[in-house]
Copies of this chain bind each other. A is one copy, B any other.
Amino acid sequence: MANTDFLNNATFLKKTAIVGFPIVALTEQLNKASGKHGKYVHWGATTQDIMDTALILQLKETLKCIEEELEKIIKALITLTRKHRNTIMVGRSQMQHGLPITFGFKSALWLFPILEHIEQLRVLQKNSLYVQFGGAIGTLASLKTEGVKVRKALAKELELNEPKISWHSSREVLIEIMHRITAISGTLGKIGKDISLLSQTEIGEVQEQRIDGRGISSTMPQKRNPISAQALLISARNTTNYMNILYQALLNDHERGTSIWQSEWLAIPNLLIHAAGGIGIASDLLKHLEVYPEKMKENLMKTNGFIMAEAVMMQLAMKIGKQEAHDLIHNLIEQAQKENKTFKEVLEQNQITKQYSKKEIDSWLDPQNYLGETKNMIDAVEQKAKKLTS
């Protein structure tokens, strides 16, 4: 942390309000406080050099924190995936029952994009943290022939990369970092959305960890709200709009833009606040997520076997073609709903399907037999995950 004892705050604020920017007010006081070295204060640098470099140093810390959180999230998801590799549940499409999946497959779907994020994040940490040092207009003219030499030394001192050219008016450096953070928030937001939906009273397949008082309501004593899942969603919903501000802020004019750079001043911290609100609690949420396999099974059975419609259709498709099989099964299900029968009952009665043995029909209706490539896909994701966190 910087030592700011030298600063007379009232004078600083007053001068800043007049100038419209803080740095003149700061350097005046720093100058006085520095005795005989004072005359070299802010030598060669300009306001934005100081602010950009400070921002990059902060982002360096930020990316380190995010990397650590992602590692924890990945580990929590590996554990969840392994544990529920065989936990059968409803796969949902447009919030309707689709086909059976496993909870491990769902969590592997959550995990996969995070693996790509951590890879990209590490590349960013290595390549994209550039010092800013260009002087008033980016040319380093005030340092005569020493400009690039001083910049190199500064980069070394601060352990930052040296850019090929000043980036005062080329904010792509920030765009790449903030895009990554926004996209990570989006990925976690999808997890938060799924958990919120699975926590609905009528579905009840998962719940956030029971902590006394967590998620209670001020009025409804029975409530236990999915607080952390919502935090992930809020984070995702908000970061994107700050990102929009930042994309727009690429449109700097000339060698230092008019009213553009300032857009970053609230957008970047706010984006990070929102991102932190999700990234910072995701691993805890996932690590302690309460999963209810019995409830998952109960929901799977709720439609009297209709969730196995595609499975049965594909069996028949081999004989009568996919389209015909689709229409047949669609009609059978309509009939079953009207007559309040189970899928099994109509299958055993229909002229075409009753040609199959009951055993055969039973096997078609067993979700265990219709999990497809879930395990192979889980394995592929897990393998990559382990490689990235070892």
Contacts and interface: CB of A to CB of B under 8 A. Distances in A.
A372 B135 CA distance: 10
A359 interface: no
Interface residues of A, number: 163
A226 B94 CA distance: 8
A262 B56 CA distance: 29
B219 A250 contact: no
Nearest to A98: B137
**By CB atoms of chain B within 10 A, which of A40, A42, A253, A320 has the most?**
A253
A200 interface: yes
Interface in A282-304: 299, 302-303
Given A116-B172, A170-B109, A234-B263, A222 B97 contact: yes
Given A19-B213, A190-B250, A266-B270, A258 B241 contact: no
A31 B317 CA distance: 13
Contacts of A101: 137-139, 255
A183 B241 contact: no
A329 B105 CA distance: 39
A248 B259 contact: no
Given A39-B324, A136-B219, A165-B377, A302 B202 contact: yes
Given A109-B138, A333-B222, A95 B258 contact: yes
